[in-house]
Amino acid sequence: MPLVPTGEIVLGARAAGTGAGAFNVVQIEHAQAIVAGAEAAGRPVILQISENTARYHGSLEPIALATLASARRAAVPVAVHLDHAESPALVHEAVRLGFGSVMFDASRLPYRENLAATRETVGHCHGHGVWVEAELGEVGGKDGAHAPGVRTDPDEARHFVAATGVDALAVAVGSSHAMLTRNAVLDLTLVAALRDAVPVPLVLHGSSGVGDADLVRAVGAGMTKVNVATHLNKAFTRAVRDHLREHAGTVDPRRYLGPARTAVAEAVTHLLGVLGSDAPLMRR
């Protein structure tokens, strides 16, 4: 199955009334596991690489090439996305490498500066056939910025999308990045209002903190792209700890990274099943 554009997966999910799972890659085992999990579920999937992960690897290209290769070998449609990029240079590199979409995050800037920077990025990316996701008002929990109580205003969202031409919008509706418990309370009424306010798909960041039932409700209310990172990292780390506790003499990393990869694949399969389940009929 060839690498596909992100828009193909996201718009297909929106048309079907389901969620599009987008999972963050930290190292090659994550990319392999996410693809394996999607294949087991028989569902398309989006692999995401964040600016923080690119920094961890020293640059974007090494982890990007491994992730793109994993996507191209998949038996289901797979897209590759740059997540939370604040650097325009990194966005340009992702476009050059063949990413299907980027999330340009200028949400730390004042509104007018965010709008101008995002519009410039959209112009560059659209010139190369690449989708752009943006964020209006920081989603809570990232680097200590904004409490989880921050909310996206529908009127401001409508203006921002019209002025920038973005293809998808990440909104703040009650979730928070890096949550270790799945007890976030989403404002589903706001999700529905945002769905009605903007013509582009909505993106839920911080979805690791949202339980299965509320993910289904969020999709039913109007969310489409659902981003998951910390939940997979918990599964990965738990599997490593379990193996090393039971096999304290292990020195070959493949012995514990293999079970970790399997644990992530199983989590992806489960979550894709949740996102593909019948949602409450709240969409119009």
Q: What pLDDT digit, counting tens, does each position of 49-70 carry? A: 999 999 999 999 999 999 999 9
- Over residues 240-269, the pLDDT tens digits come to 999 999 999 999 999 999 999 999 999 999
| Residue 164 contacts residue 115 (beta carbons within 8 Å) | yes
Residues 6 or more apart from 25 whose CB is under 8 A from it? 31, 34, 47, 48, 49, 53, 63, 67
Domain ranges of the chain: 6-275
Give this prediction's pTM: 0.91
Residue 207 — pLDDT band, cuts 50, 70, 90? low
Q: What is the DSSP letter of 176?
A: B
| Residue 231 contacts residue 26 (beta carbons within 8 Å) | no
Residue 151 — pLDDT band, cuts 50, 70, 90? confident
Tell me the C-alpha distance between 48 and 227, whole Å: 9
Q: Which two tokens stand for residue 205?
A: 């960041």
Distances (CA, A) of 129 to 101, 124, 232: 9, 9, 30
Residue 184 — pLDDT band, cuts 50, 70, 90? low
Tell me the C-alpha distance between 101 and 35, whole Å: 18
Proportion of the chain above pLDDT 90, given as a percent: 72
| Residue 175 contacts residue 207 (beta carbons within 8 Å) | yes
Say whether pLDDT at 197 is over 80: yes
Say whether pLDDT at 177 is over 70: no
Q: Which two tokens stand for residue 63?
A: 């982890």
Residue 135 — pLDDT band, cuts 50, 70, 90? confident
The pLDDT value recorded for residue 150 is 73
For 6-275, which CATH superfamily applies? Aldolase class I (3.20.20.70)
Amino acid at 29: E
Q: Which two tokens stand for residue 8?
A: 């193909």
The pLDDT value recorded for residue 147 is 47
Residue 143 — pLDDT band, cuts 50, 70, 90? very low
The pLDDT value recorded for residue 185 is 58
Say whether pLDDT at 12 is over 90: yes
The pLDDT value recorded for residue 61 is 98
The pLDDT value recorded for residue 206 is 75
Residue 145 — pLDDT band, cuts 50, 70, 90? very low
Q: What share of the chain is helix, strand, coil (3-state, %, to 5)?
A: 50, 15, 35
Kind of pairing, strands 131-135 and 20-24? unpaired
Tell me the C-alpha distance between 62 and 43, whole Å: 26
Residue 283 — pLDDT band, cuts 50, 70, 90? very low
- CB atoms under 10 Å from CB of 138, counted, come to 18
The pLDDT value recorded for residue 281 is 38
Q: Which two tokens stand for residue 216?
A: 């289904």
Residue 284 — pLDDT band, cuts 50, 70, 90? very low
Catalytic residue among 83, 105, 167, 187: 83
Burial of 144 (0-12, 13-18, 19+ CB in 10 A): exposed
Burial of 119 (0-12, 13-18, 19+ CB in 10 A): middle
Residues 6 or more apart from 63 whose CB is under 8 A from it? 25, 27, 28, 49, 53, 54, 57
Tell me the C-alpha distance between 164 and 87, whole Å: 17
- Over residues 34-49, the pLDDT tens digits come to 999 999 999 999 999 9
Mean pLDDT of the chain: 88
For 106-228, list the strands marked E by DSSP. 131-135, 168-170, 202-204, 223-228
Proportion of the chain above pLDDT 70, given as a percent: 87
Closest CA to 10 of 169, 210, 214, 215: 169
Between 27-31, 37-41, 142-146, the lowest mean confidence (pLDDT) is in 142-146
Asked about 83 being catalytic, the answer comes back as: yes
Tell me how many degrees the CA angle 29-32-37 measures, rounded to the nearest 5: 120
Decide which of 150 and 110 is more confident: 110
- At residue 176, what are phi and psi to the nearest 5 degrees? -145, 140
- Over residues 223-239, the pLDDT tens digits come to 999 999 988 999 999 99
